[in-house]
Amino acid sequence: MTGKLFEVGDDYSRWLKELKDRIRSAQVRAALAVNQELVLLYWQIGRSILEQQGQEGWGTKVIEKLAKDLKKEFPEIKGFSRSNLMYMRAFAEAYPDEQIVQRSVGQLPWRHNIALLEKLKIQEQRFWYAQQTIENGWSRDVLVMQIESSLHIRQGGAVTNFERTLPKLQSDLAQQLIKDP
């Protein structure tokens, strides 16, 4: 059987481009899913540490022992250092509800979440910066720079409780008043 000589034309180039785009898209979705699972795992570990410390009255020394034991059991996995376990604990403390973790902060890389914890004490501000990071594709360094330059205030997107405490029309008006110089 003699095959027809294959010529690369526009149809093939378009088809190849579509396949490449699908592959890249699948890679991104897979990486995001892995990241979200990792953040959820870190939250669960942090929650467990908080619960055990509360029930047993353990201090921070248990975190050092836990770090050593987890590193021994899982030597190929990074992320179980004493300091990272402390971040996991702080993360679970900052977000007591697992549903919150599955929102915007769960879509961010772990180091972004650490930056939010270190730089911001108000949860609404953390959510605002997390959402901005997702929408704008900020790196961790850009996120930190935006926090340190108080972007939420400069953009007139100051975190308020207007939506929760005022009727819809008044809430919108109050929000617009803040933005008006």
- How do residues 6-59 score in pLDDT, each as one tens digit? 677 788 999 999 999 999 999 988 988 898 999 999 999 999 999 999 888 888
- How do residues 13-28 score in pLDDT, each as one tens digit? 999 999 999 999 999 8
Q: Which residues, 6 or more positions from 109, have their beta carbon under 8 angstroms from its beta carbon?
A: 35, 140
CA distance 46 to 157: 31
Token readout for 135 is 């929408």
The percentage of residues in the chain with a pLDDT greater than 70, rounded to a whole number, is 82
Q: What are the backbone angles phi and psi of residue 160, rounded to the nearest 5°?
A: -130, 175
